[in-house]
Amino acid sequence: MPRDRAIMAEAQRQFQTAKERRRDELERRTAEVYRKAPMVEKIDRELRGTAARIVLAAFADEGSPETALRELERNNLTLQRERAERLVGAGFPYDYLDDGPVCRRCRDTGWLADGRPCGCLMAYYTQEQNRRLSKLLDLGNQSFKTFSLEWFTGEKWAEFGRSPLENMRMIQEICQKYAQSFSRRSGNLLFTGAPGLGKTFLSACIAREVSERGFSVVYDTAGHVFQQFESGKFGRENPFEEDPDREVDRYLNCDLLIMDDVGTEMLTSFVQSAFYRIVNDRLINGRSTVLSTNLPMEEIGRRYGEAVLSRIRGEYQILRFFGEDIRILKRDR
């Protein structure tokens, strides 16, 4: 799966920093033990010498090396027992100076034998990706577990043939299943409906779940996305710190793009072209997209053209949000 190069670079930096912290901590512990229990230092020197003698015995030309090897191994075990006893006697745990790898799968390299990043490195990737997502989304509080249906009435709306509560329960189930079973071919969603009905909240829930499963996720507002496309295309002054070409690459190639507030940006022919490219390129390459808009379907067609509308109708699962504005209900409660 494609991964954001900048995020992976930061994940590797944090991974290496953690390794260096563990190394520094081991050096500190070792100095502490040698100061309080000098015999442990002497035993460690003997053990290092024993390891060298075992290697030499294994390649001995004369006589039988097996006897020498067994004797050296017995001596090694005796030294290890004495070392553990000395550590405990000095008030330390017997494994206080153990320096084996934290991750046995990759032995703390971060990479598996087949070239894939190990889960221990990907944990840093997910952490960094969520940190960046959290600049726009409240991932700390927004999750499927905290999504509340209490603001939606159970009274049927004739226009839709069901109640806002029934509708939102269905949408929640669809979104949760989408996120929890996400893959490269999970397809696309369109959230459409008036403001204040939970579209951004559910977008955050999906972003969080998919990111934590190790996929690359980009969440952004339509206005910011189109600004990056324009800056990259025309070399215009970019009010944001990001490299526009790199950002455009992220929008087009991440596993999941979540684009919020579609329709709030200033409409130009370039915006229409950029939106078509996003929708079309990601469909062609089998990359999943979640679009969120306050616009009805007919207005999407008038605003962005029939080619875009046709692709959305044919390739997106359309989820219509309706009900009373939750922000107003919370304010008036």
Long-range contacts: 140-148, Cβ < 8 Å, 24+? 142/201, 142/204, 142/205, 142/208, 143/205, 143/208, 143/209, 144/172, 144/175, 144/176, 144/179, 144/205, 144/209, 147/172, 147/198, 147/201, 147/202, 147/205
Determine the Cα–Cα distance for residues 242 and 47; give it in Å rounded to an integer. 53
pLDDT in tens, the chain (333 residues): 567 777 788 888 888 888 888 888 888 989 999 999 999 888 888 887 776 666 666 665 555 667 666 777 788 788 888 889 889 999 999 888 888 788 888 888 888 888 888 888 877 777 777 666 655 565 556 678 888 888 888 999 988 899 999 999 999 999 999 999 998 789 999 999 988 898 988 998 998 889 888 888 888 888 888 988 988 665 555 444 466 788 888 889 889 999 998 999 988 999 999 999 999 999 999 999 999 999 999 999 999 999 999 999 999 999 999 988 888 877 766
Stated pTM of the model: 0.66
Amino acid at 287: R
Per residue, the 3-state secondary structure of the chain, as one string, reads CCCCHHHHHHHHHHHHHHHHHHHHHHHHHHHHHHHHCHHHHHHHHHHHHHHHHHHHHHCCCCCCHHHHHHHHHHHHHHHHHHHHHHHHHCCCCCCCCCCCCCCCCCCCCCECCCCCECHHHHHHHHHHHHHHHCCCCCCCCCCCCCCCCCCCCCCCECCCCECHHHHHHHHHHHHHHHHHCCCCCCCEEEEEECCCCCHHHHHHHHHHHHHHCCCCEEEEEHHHHHHHHHHHHHCCCCCCCCCHHHHHHHHHHCCEEEEEEECCCCCCHHHHHHHHHHHHHHHHCCCEEEEEECCCHHHHHHHHCHHHHHHHHHHEEEEEECCCCHHHHHHHC
Amino acid at 234: F
Long-range contacts: 114-123, Cβ < 8 Å, 24+? 117/3, 117/8, 120/15, 121/11, 121/12, 121/15, 122/11, 122/214
In this structure, whether the domain defined by 137-332 belongs to CATH 3.40.50.300 is answered with: yes
Take residue 77 and report the two structure tokens written for it.
Answer: 């075990």
Q: Specify the pLDDT at position 62.
A: 57
Are 220 and 136 within 8 A, CB to CB?
A: yes
Task: Calculate the alpha carbon distances from 164 to 63, 181, 268, 269, 323 in Å.
Answer: 87, 26, 35, 36, 5
Q: Specify the pLDDT at position 109.
A: 86
